[in-house]
Copies of this chain bind each other. A is one copy, B any other.
């Protein structure tokens, strides 16, 4: 009646990795776990690497980059290039969205606005461009940081 052993032997992560056409290896499973379990939706490769270290996982930074890039290619995660050097990765939630980033504390709010999407499509069409992707990031100061420093 309680789940058989098999239930825990094939966790969801493994299936996702397998479906992506990748071998199920410890680094891949661990990285996917980190992405799912860490409270942060947006993590840099360095963040993931540090999280792995704090879980006593012996995984090289190069592997983290390699795996994240593969996950990106497989559509499991999205890579974002915000200002400030490093890229951040987030689990692919299935639907596109844009970002509001606090320049003080780094807090990130996701949003989706169909009006903006439509205008973009129209503008691209007017110029004859075929859209492949787009990136909209609004930088500002979040409510908390506004309170903290007048």
Q: Is A130 an interface residue (CB 8 A)?
A: yes
Task: Report Cα–Cα, A138/B131, bound state, in Å.
Answer: 7
Chain B residue nearest to A79 in the complex (CB): B83
Residue A81 lies at the interface, judged by CB distance under 8 Å to chain B: yes
> In the bound complex, do residue A103 and residue B132 qualify as a contact, i.e. CB atoms below 8 Å apart?
yes
Complex copy number for this chain: 2
Task: Find the B residue at minimum CB distance from A104.
Answer: B132
Q: Identify A124's interface contact among B100, B103, B115, B120, CB under 8 A.
A: B100
* Per-position binary interface string of chain A over residues 99-143, scored 1 when its CB falls under 8 Å from any chain B CB and 0 otherwise: 010110000010101011001100110011111111111111111
A113 and B119 CA atoms in complex are apart in Å by 8
Judge whether B137 and A135 touch: CB under 8 Å.
Answer: yes
* With known contacts A103-B132, A130-B146, A138–B109 Cβ distance under 8 A: no
